[in-house]
Structure 1
Amino acid sequence: MRIENLLVEIGTEELPPKSLAKLATAFRDNIDSQFSDNDLSFSSVNWYASPRRLAVMVEGLSEYQADKIVEKRGPAVSAAFDQDGQATKAAQGWARGNGIDVAEASRLKTDKGEWLLYKAEVKGQAVKDLLAPLVEKALKALPIPKPMRWGAKSTQFIRPIHTVTILFGDELIEGSVLGVTSSRLIKGHRFHSDQPFELTKADNYLAELERHFVIAKHDVRKAKILNQIEAAATKENATADINDDLLEEVTSLVEWPIALTASFEESFLAVPKEALIYTMKDDQKYFPLLDENGQLKSRFVFITNIESKEPQAIISGNEKVIRPRLADAEFFFNTDKKKTLESRLESLKTILFQKQLGTVFEKSERIALMAKEIASMLGADEQAAYRAGLLCKTDLMTNMVMEFPDVQGVMGMHYARIDGESEAVALAQNEQYKPRFAGDELPNSEVSICVALADKIDTLVGIFGIGQTPKGDKDPFALRRASIGILRIIVEKSLNLDLIDLVEASIATFADKIESKELNAKVTDFVLARFKAWYAEQGVGAEVVQSVAINRPTRPADFAARIEAVKSFNSLESAEALAAANKRVANILAKNPISEVTALQNNLLIEPAEIALSKALTSVEERIKPLLEQSDYKNTLTTLAELKEPIDDFFETVMVMAEDEATKINRLNLLSRLRALFLCCADISVLG
């Protein structure tokens, strides 16, 4: 059987750069799925993408589907023949549907009876007869939120399609995909190779495209861009400000990347660098250059899609483009400096935070009060925390932030310094939003921590208080992200804060704006529930988190300490047996509840194993008491692990449900004491 590589290329108009890689990988996955579902044999599928094409290479594809045996069960033999042994109408209809006589049917015998059976070998179809429809199905299943039509066609796709090429080795597979007939024509670079060329063989695809100034491999193009940027930065004795999202987007904008370096007037450097960097990266897709101290230079690197004989013309053009953008930032900055942040407080009264919760000004007042309260809990500067909270949203009313929303917070920091606010208050203007995303750094100063926690808790309490809790994947106020932020700050900064206290303090700032009944418990439980997702990302099993969550410790730092202890305990050799024993204890006590746990009566301890367990319990209780006072859960559980042998001996030799009622109650009390001892850290019975 002939085996070849298959190329499928869809030539389009410029594809959306931010979704190019997602579309290409989805195309690969869909092709893989379609081919597998249709019994096509192949070794692998690779994807290629550039601004004007999506392509896959299916390697080691067999020319035909695999042959297969088709079995179709018919009616039961008892229903297939009448008393005279003649085929019934049911049997005849089934046989006719399969193109055979009833006498030609096989028999299938099972424990449940005997049935007529039709078995036939179906020859695999030729791949060339299947490809076009399968490719079209794969394309129609792409994640395209808003498909478009073009010309007079009713066909829809993310962008108009100009060419379709399907080559099986050197054979052109004829057919139509989304209304475009397959051909050998491939389009090269828009400017360096403006005439389509014919591709003779699938294996020549990458080399031929490169000869026509297109690097089709996305990762190769990305690496080349990165290398060029870094080389250009080295020439300038600088470091390029590169983030992967921007690098990915630029990779999806060009087919033949060339890095060039340009400059702007140094006078613009008087503007805070964050605003200039935002303008260059987000608006223009440029890569700013930083000196050895991390300060912005008046030079930047950009990627062009043309290898020009006169690069200076391209450089000059980009310099002309960036200049007015930087001039705008400069104008906004100079205008904003004429007013203090404090003077902007009044304007916050015109901005609605949420209809039922009031304006941004009211939210700022609540944040200020809450930040002061948290500062009191932490022994931080209460007045600075209040001041920072009061001003924390004022930069939203500046020209700079209105024009460049992503610099909110950081511009507040710069304006606060210009206004003569303390450094702690200034830093808090920026750090209030941290962590902004998973893995982001946390606020550093105590005042920043107070404001960041206050802001997040205020949003949680307010939104829960008006009954707009997240449902499914809908979370318009990002309450899950806020909750993770609260947990991260408290845990990673080792803060002795209790969620119940924080939520209660926040509720008090809302007065009658919210419904407070059971609100504290709802918000606290919602935040604690985020521990499961947080630890799942770290590879911690759900059962470990559940073992701690059962006790509902509401101090996040304490919760985390218990998690670490259970993780350590879980690695002990005795862990599995102890978890099983705890589960057994829990089940016994659940089936035989006692109204009140009383002191053990030593005179009723008869069996050596129960006497030994009682003594071991007393010894362990005394030893773990100081450990629990220090929240040393790790050593507490390690000490509890010493109870494995006396517990095993107890269950092996002692009958808990003794005939004597007093003895039975005494043994249940012993187990209750054992259960309570382990629950001081976590319920390890769920680990078993």
Structure 2
Amino acid sequence: MPDLLLELFSEEIPARMQGKAADDLKRLVTDGLVEAGLTYASAGAFATPRRLTLTVEGLNEASPTTTEERRGPKVGAPDKALDGFLRGAGVAREDLEEREDKKGTFYYAKVTTEGRPAADIIADLIPGVIRNFPWPKSMRWGAGSLRWVRPLHSILCILTREDGAEVVPFDVDGIASGNTTEGHRFMAPGRFAVSSFEDYEAKLRAAKVVLSAEARAEAIWHDATNMAFAAGLEVVEDKGLLAEVAGLVEWPVVLMGEIGEDFLGLPAEVLQTSMREHQKFFSVRNPATGRIERFITVANRETADQGATIIAGNAKVLSARLADAKFFWDNDLRIARAGMGDWQEALKSVTFERRLGSQAERVDRIAALAREIAPMVGADPIAAETAARIAKADLSSEMVFEFPELQGVMGKYYALEAGLDPAIAAVAEEHYAPLGPTDDVPTAPLSVAVALADKLDLLTGFWAIDEKPTGSKDPFALRRAALGVIRLIVENGHQFPLQSVAIAAVSKGHGKDHQTTVDLTCDLIAFIHDRLKVLLRAEGVRHDVIDACLGGASDDVLDLLVKRARALQAFLDTPDGENLIQGYKRSANILSQAEAKDGVEYRYGADVKFAETPEEQALFAALDNANAAIQPALEAEDFTSAMSEMAKLRAPIDAFFEAVQVNADSDILRRNRLNLLHDITQTCGSVADLSRIDN
């Protein structure tokens, strides 16, 4: 069984495109092979700055010959219809067979498709893959029509068998396939032939090319951390940068340089951001002081002077970059130490959203809302308002203008320089969190108050102007804000009525009348509940469980809602829970049918004196015991205990239905038993609306 090796060799492919391009090449080629009838054992794709490579092992020698039966037009159909069928099937009229079925007599043809050699299939497939490759951006060059991410220079395509390798011949825009490739641009120029993937990978390494991006990243990290450790330092971990740098080099050479003394006083985040964004350098930290003191760069070649010239050049460019950062820092410090008033004033000229006013107006709303939320989360209202008013001041700073990703981080530094309490200064950085589902959630009461106010103002504001997420579109990241609200409340265990806070935000901040405010916030709370379902679904809680917990006393207190849902999910995962649901639904169904038939409600309390059987009497006792235990547990917010008490009803309910006929001949017994069924639904329903649980 032959193995396929394909390499598309070009000018430098942007690092951010390489991983997806390798995956796309694998998907397009393997899908095409399978569609053409070829199976394979395994496939792997690789990318370097100058090449995309695919290896497919264990291919069939040829696609199988297949025979299929096709039904044609009815006997007696017009000649045109029959001729079209004959052409499509590739058969003659005398090869047709007539068969009768329920709908009439039809022509049938047996169509045989001869198998094709693997080389022929590949030669037809690859040119189409190359011409239609899904690059995010592509270009044309010269006089040809081919579009590729960068000019494509050569195509290597061979099939390897035990007795040798053969080139799969085809041509794409004048580029003929072959069995040769190139090594490193500088250290091993020139082409060489290969005969298999193993031969290809070994010769590439000898020609100073590491084919695997993972291997390049591992080598970079290994050398960088060892180099830093030898100097008593440590490399700041940055997985995104590591993946990007691994896509910039074919032969990684790790070098370490020093940061100028003038710049060591800059905040670590400024140094890291400047070096990462502009130079693709790793930051090297002194673990004793926390300062960033050196940088690591990754060259794409070995040099006679062991990289000294490269380090000197990089250090010179870095000094120019950091000089700009230091200039911004010094200017910003002057304004910060004056109280940040200039920045707060500048926010009046920055539009947040045309219908929602300026950033300064938004800050006013957040401050007022933070003051209202503060007592609910254990924060001082005055401190919360103060923190909210300075939290976004750094948006006007020169440093954040240059590096927007440092918003909040710089705000903390500037607030400290302004002489504010560290707890207030921390709010500037923490109030943006959490931005993603894995981000840490602030726990300090002041930060929680302002973070909630920030996100609730965003949500209520866009709800007030009817700008809600639709489908996959969410330009203002409102789903993320809703998830942030949920996590801030639930993970900190705060319990307060969310809708009343939202109503206050809308009525005070956006001037809506009472009814509009109520309608608007009801819709917003439903949106937040939908986000809650997504969050809980990710941890294994079913959507119907959340629905069952909504509508109760705790549906507006997210922390209680989540605790109830988690307890109910755990209960339903047990045999007792699953069976009790069936007993509950059986009770509810019999009860609703009887009420519909009789035109009355059986909801006035069953009387144990009419219980005839031991099973009936046992169910009365079990319900009394359950009610006595469930209600105190619910009041204590001990939902797990409430579910445990409810689980004890499973056996007596099962025994009741096994031994007792609800629709007895005696009207007195029938009414009493129907009232007893109502007691079952009431007791179980006090924990959650179990009618919403899917069967």
Q: d(CA) in 1 for partners of 2:152 and 2:590?
A: 69
Deviation per CA, 1:112-160: give whole Å up to 9, x if none: 8875533344321112222133224444565433332222223223222
1:538 equivalent in structure 2: 539
Matched, 1:222 2:222: no
Contact in 1 for aligned 2:377/2:448 (Cα 8 Å): no
- Which amino acid counterpart does residue 344 of structure 1 have in structure 2? W
Say whether 1:527 aligns with 2:559: no
Give runs of aligned pairs for residues 243-642 of structure 1, distance below 5 A. Answer: 243-293=238-288, 295-310=290-305, 311-339=307-335, 340-512=339-511, 516-549=517-550, 551=552, 553-591=555-593, 592=595, 597-642=603-648
Displacement, 1:273? 1.2
Distance 1:142 1:663 in 2: 76
SS of residue matched to 1:168: strand
Encode CA deviations 1:562-599: one digit per residue, 9 max, x unaligned. Answer: 12212321332222211222333343455446658323
| Distance verdict in 2 for CA 1:107–1:45, change over 3 Å | farther
Indicate the residue corresponding to 2:67 in structure 1: 69
- What's the RMSD between the two structures over aligned residues? 2.6
Quick one: structure 1 residues 649 and 112, their matched pair in 2 at CA, closer, same or farther if it must change by over 3 Å? Answer: farther
* Displacement of 1:611: 3.4
Do 2:602 and 2:678's aligned partners in 1 also have CA atoms closer than 8 Å?
no
Match of 1:12 among 10, 13, 32: 10
C-alpha contact 2:283 2:295 (8 A) present in aligned 1 = yes
Match of 1:653?
659
Matched residue type, 1:174: P
Cα deviations by residue, 1:528-573 (Å, 9 ceiling, x for unpaired)? 1112221233244444444434657221211221122123213322
**Given the alignment, which residue of 123, 126, 146 partners 2:137?**
146
Per-residue displacement from partner, 1:276-300 (whole Å, max 9, x unpaired)? 1111122211111122247123111
Q: Deviations over 1:239-297 (max 9, x none)?
A: 21122111111111111001000011233122211111111122211111122247123
Q: Structure 2-normalised TM-score?
A: 0.92
| Cα displacement (A) at 1:679 | 2.7
Distance in 1, matches of 2:212 and 2:512, equals 57
- Structure 1 contact 232–301 (Cα < 8 Å) conserved: no
Query: What displacement does 1:492 show?
Result: 1.1
Task: Name stretches of at least 5 consecutive residues in structure 2 with no aligned partner.
Answer: none
Structure 1 letter corresponding to 2:651: E
Write the distance in 2 (CA, Å) between the matches of 1:532 and 1:294.
44
Deviations along 1:148-207, one digit per CA (max 9) or x if unpaired, are: 222222322322211111111121111123653212331221111232333344442111
User: Measured at CA, do residues 109 and 55 of structure 1 come closer, stay the same or move farther in structure 2, by a change above 3 Å?
Assistant: farther
CA distance in 2, matches of 1:550, 1:320: 65
The one-letter code sitting in structure 2 at the alignment partner of 1:642 is K
Q: Kindly tell me: are residues 54 and 614 of structure 1, through their superposed partners in 2, closer, same or farther at Cα, counting changes over 3 Å?
A: same
Q: Is the 8 A contact 2:75 2:98 kept in 1?
A: no
Letter in 2 for 1:32: T
* CA gap 1:103/1:196 in 2 versus in 1, 3 angstroms: closer
- Summarize the Cα distance change of 1:141–1:440 in structure 2 as closer, same or farther, 3 Å threshold: farther
Asked if the contact 2:602/2:671 (under 8 Å) is kept, the reply is: no
Q: Which amino acid is 1:144 matched to?
A: W
Give the 3 Å change call, closer, same or farther, for CA 107–231 of structure 1 in structure 2: farther
Task: Indicate how the Cα distance of structure 1 residues 146 and 587 shifts in structure 2: closer, same or farther if over 3 A, else same.
Answer: farther
Distance 1:124 1:292 in 2: 66
* SS across alignment from 2:556: coil
Q: Indicate if the aligned counterparts of 1:370 and 1:509 stay in contact, CA closer than 8 A.
A: no
Does the residue aligned with 1:57 lie in a helix, a strand or coil? strand
Contact residue 80 and residue 90 of structure 1 kept, 8 A: no
Gaps of 5+ in 1: none
**Aligned counterparts of 1:178 and 1:47: Cα–Cα separation in 2:** 24
Deviation at 1:526, TM superposition (A): 0.8
TM-fit CA distance, 1:410: 0.7
Q: Which amino acid aligns with 1:258?
A: V
Q: Does 1:192 align with 2:193?
A: no
Q: What is the deviation of 1:4?
A: 1.4
SS in 1 for 2:334: coil
Aligned partner (choices 5, 27, 41) of residue 43 of structure 1? 41
Aligned positions, number: 679
| C-alpha distance in 2 between matches for 1:558 and 1:402 | 42
Q: CA deviation at 1:72?
A: 1.4
CA positional deviation for 1:486 = 1.2
The one-character-per-residue Cα deviations of 1:65-104 (angstroms, maximum 9, x if unpaired) are 12222221235xxx5379xxxx999778756764556664
Contact 1:193 1:212 in 2 (8 A): yes
Q: 2:129 aligned with 1:134, yes or no?
A: no
Distance 1:141 1:611 in 2: 76
How far apart in 2 are the matches of 1:141 and 1:588? 62
447-456 vs 378-387, greater mean Cα deviation: 378-387
> Which letter does structure 1 place at the counterpart of 2:329?
F
- Are 1:258 and 1:306, in contact at CA under 8 Å, matched by a contact in 2? yes
Separation in 1, partners of 2:260, 2:362: 41
> What is the CA distance between 1:369 and its match in structure 2?
0.9
Worse overlay, 435-444 or 136-145? 136-145
Q: % of aligned pairs identical?
A: 33
Name the CA distance, whole Å, in 2 between partners of 1:585 and 1:577.
13
Greater displacement, 256-265 / 341-350: 341-350
CA shift digits 1:314-337 (9 cap, x unpaired): 110110111111111111111011
- Aligned partners of 1:447 and 1:333: how far apart in 2? 27
Contact kept in structure 2, 1:80 and 1:88, CA below 8 Å:
no
Contact 1:43 1:58 in 2 (8 A): yes
Local SS of the residue matching 1:509: helix
CA distance 1:97–1:259, change in 2 (3 Å): closer
Contact 2:2 2:60 (8 Å CA) reproduced = yes
Among 235, 239, 242, the residue aligned to 2:234:
239
Q: Is the Cα–Cα contact under 8 Å of residues 81 and 91 in structure 1 kept in the other structure?
A: no
Cα displacement string for residues 663-685 of structure 1 (whole angstroms, at most 9, x for unaligned residues): 55544433333223223333445
CA 1:576/1:60 → structure 2, altered by over 3 Å: closer, same or farther? same
Paired with 1:470 and 1:436, the residues of 2 have a C-alpha distance of 17
Q: Scaled by the length of structure 1, what TM-score is found?
A: 0.92
395-404 or 618-627, which moves further after superposition?
618-627
Query: Shift in Å at residue 218 of structure 1?
Result: 1.5
Distance between the aligned counterparts of 1:88 and 1:29, measured in 2? 43
**Cα separation, partners in 2 of 1:433 and 1:88, compared to 1, 3 Å:** closer
